[in-house]
Amino acid sequence: DPLRPLVLGGDHSISYPVVRAVSEKLGGPVDILHLDAHPDIYDAFEGNVYSHASSFARIMEGGYARRLLQVGLRSINIEGREQGKRFGVEQYEMRTFSRDRHFLENLKLGEGVKGVYISIDVDCLDPAFAPGVSHFEPGGLSFRDVLNILHNLQGDIVAADVVEFNPQRDTVDGMTAMVAAKLVRELAAKISK
């Protein structure tokens, strides 16, 4: 104690059971920083309420998070925006990142709740930095953008995940694997502080 899990995916369907377990173990909700190209907040995706594209709907419905900040979005539709409004999600799209950068690089989360959970979908990064993902979207965050957000985040990090690395789509030199490993290292360092 305290257990501070750092979970490696798989797809984003792992986040719901992990966040639920962390919240239940700690006895209350957490704040979530979710870095992703997609909001993963469908009520059900292709009829599956536990899909990788529905995990954050389940988290918010269950009351496992007080605040959910989604950063790096660039593939969001009407349902994603409506679900975001329904659950009070703070959605930061890449089209406004230059305007939001100062705020996002100076986040203070977790006060009044049980801590901060960080979820990183590797496709939050532009495919130039991480092509080895299943659902890449051009126009994403740079690796330095992600590091700036993580390094400057103030809050008690209680758990995290890194998901959606797909080795079958990586470059021959394993560039995305290296990037994902570096994200894991940075998160482990942040959690250990």
Backbone angles phi, psi at 187, to 5 degrees: -65, -45
Residue with tokens 């290296």: 178
pLDDT digits (tens, 9 = 90+) for 126-138: 999 999 999 989 9
% of the chain beyond a pLDDT of 90: 97
- CB-based contact 44:51 (threshold 8 Å): yes
57-95 pLDDT, tens digit per residue, is 999 999 999 999 999 999 999 999 999 999 999 999 999
pLDDT score for 2: 78
Query: All domains of the chain, ordered by start, with CATH?
Result: 6-191 (3.40.800.10)
Predicted confidence (pLDDT) per residue in 121-172, tens digit: 999 999 999 999 999 899 999 999 999 999 999 999 999 999 999 999 999 9
Q: Are strands 157-163 and 116-121 parallel, antiparallel or unpaired?
A: parallel
Model pLDDT, residue 139:
97
**1 pLDDT above the threshold of 90:** no
The letter for the amino acid at 172 is V
- pLDDT (average), residues 178-191: 97
State pLDDT tens for residues 21-66.
999 999 999 999 999 999 999 999 999 999 999 999 999 999 999 9
Tokens linked to 131: 């092509």
Residue 161: name the closest of 46, 76, 40 by CA.
40
Comparing C-alpha atoms, which of 110, 127, 119, 139 is closest to residue 169? 127
pLDDT at 3: 84
E strand spans, the chain = 6-8, 30-35, 65-73, 90-93, 116-121, 157-163
pLDDT over 90 at 108, yes or no: yes
d(CA 101, CA 176): 24
